[in-house]
Amino acid sequence: MLITVDPQLRQRPAAATQGRPEGTHPRSARDGWPEPHWLHRPQVTPSAVGRVAHLLQRRAELTSALQPIVRLDQRREVGFEALLRLPFGSGFASVGECFSEAAKAGLLAELELVALEVHLALSRFVGGHKLFLNLSAMSLAEPRLRAEALGAWVETAGFRPDQVVLELTESVSVNDPASFARWVRPLREAGFSLAIDDFGAGFTSLRLLAELGPDYLKVDRSLVSGICRHPSRKAVLESLVGLGDRLGATVLAEGVEAAEDLETVAACGVALAQGFALGPPVPAAELRFRSGQAS
């Protein structure tokens, strides 16, 4: 599936709202799809549009890195998180700044869809492991990511839907968690798994956790970093593991950088972890071909 970049990107944020009665929901700029009421669309910052549009026009230079996700009781790789890498001279200090500016520009979904295309070209490196992909609620509102379309896309790329974990990022808040959970239900029925990313920071609410019932709960690095020296953080993480058990969600600790923190995280009963203590993100071009299946 090829994602084309609209040459009118600079006009899209304004055009999306022209002629719309005040108080009603805008429609998607693509396919006339009604925008769901649970989506909170940030106000567009015109100064951000040009920088992001220029990056999107350099899409062929975007690449992926894969960071291993490890099952702690076996010290075995079970998946990878796909991370976008920007080309030299992109004009952004970091990938995080780039996605933040894309949200301000009203182009977050465009950038995430292009990133998704880049990541889904990695099937020969991932093998039978899980692939964790970051997507905002903005992108999940896209017609191109409805269950049937996304299922066909990932299968064409060489993945099975049950290999793909969609990580709900903190970029955009969700106004109505119950409606959002109903919206993404077809994705789960198609075999995709859902994760709440960066739990413990930003927009994520306990109500969203309760309504969505995610398959994975990714604990934010702010709770993990230095946990070996902070009993209160350890107590919070242990509580989240218990909560995950009751909700049927596998807890994954992000940002595990030190061996001492890794030991503490494992002692808390966390099933999965990622971070430099287990392996840094590696450019896809440097990974060996993976043909085996992960159990």
Domain ranges in the chain? 63-285
Alpha helices in the chain (DSSP H): 12-15, 46-56, 95-105, 108-119, 123-126, 137-140, 147-156, 177-189, 206-212, 221-224, 231-247, 259-267
Residue 25 has pLDDT above 60, yes or no: no
The CB density around residue 59, as the number of other CB atoms within 10 Å, is 17
Is the Cβ–Cβ distance between 171 and 138 less than 8 Å? yes
Residue 232 has pLDDT above 90, yes or no: yes
- The token pair at 127 is 């093998």
pLDDT in tens, 113-139: 999 999 999 998 898 999 999 999 989
CA-to-CA dists, residue 122 to 128, 182, 289, angstroms: 11, 30, 10
Q: What confidence tier does 201 reach under pLDDT thresholds 50, 70, 90?
A: confident
pLDDT in tens, 134-143: 999 989 988 8
Nearest to 262 by CA among 279, 250, 249: 279
Can you tell me the distance from the alpha carbon of 241 to that of 252, in angstroms, rounded to the nearest whole number?
Answer: 9
- HSE-CB at 190 with a 13 A cutoff on CA atoms is 23
Average pLDDT, the chain: 85
Can you tell me the distance from the alpha carbon of 144 to that of 109, in angstroms, rounded to the nearest whole number?
Answer: 10
- The token pair at 206 is 């306990």
Residue 32: what pLDDT? 54
Residue 289: what pLDDT? 59
In a 3-state reduction of DSSP, which class is residue 80?
strand
Residues 6+ apart with CB under 8 A from 146: 186
Can you tell me the distance from the alpha carbon of 139 to that of 165, in angstroms, rounded to the nearest whole number?
Answer: 15
In a 3-state reduction of DSSP, which class is residue 68?
strand
Residues 6+ apart with CB under 8 A from 133: 82, 116, 119, 164, 165, 166, 167
In a 3-state reduction of DSSP, which class is residue 99?
helix
CATH of 63-285 among 3.30.1330.30, 3.20.20.450, 3.40.50.300, 3.90.1150.10: 3.20.20.450
CA-to-CA dists, residue 288 to 127, 268, 282, angstroms: 10, 33, 11
Q: What confidence tier does 171 reach under pLDDT thresholds 50, 70, 90?
A: low
Report the pLDDT averaged over residues 254-260. 96
Residue 15: what pLDDT? 36
Tell which wins on pLDDT, 10 or 164.
164
pLDDT in tens, 4-15: 444 444 344 333
Q: What percent of the chain has pLDDT over 70?
A: 84
44 secondary structure, DSSP code? P
Is the Cβ–Cβ distance between 224 and 240 less than 8 Å? no
Report the pLDDT averaged over residues 214-228. 95
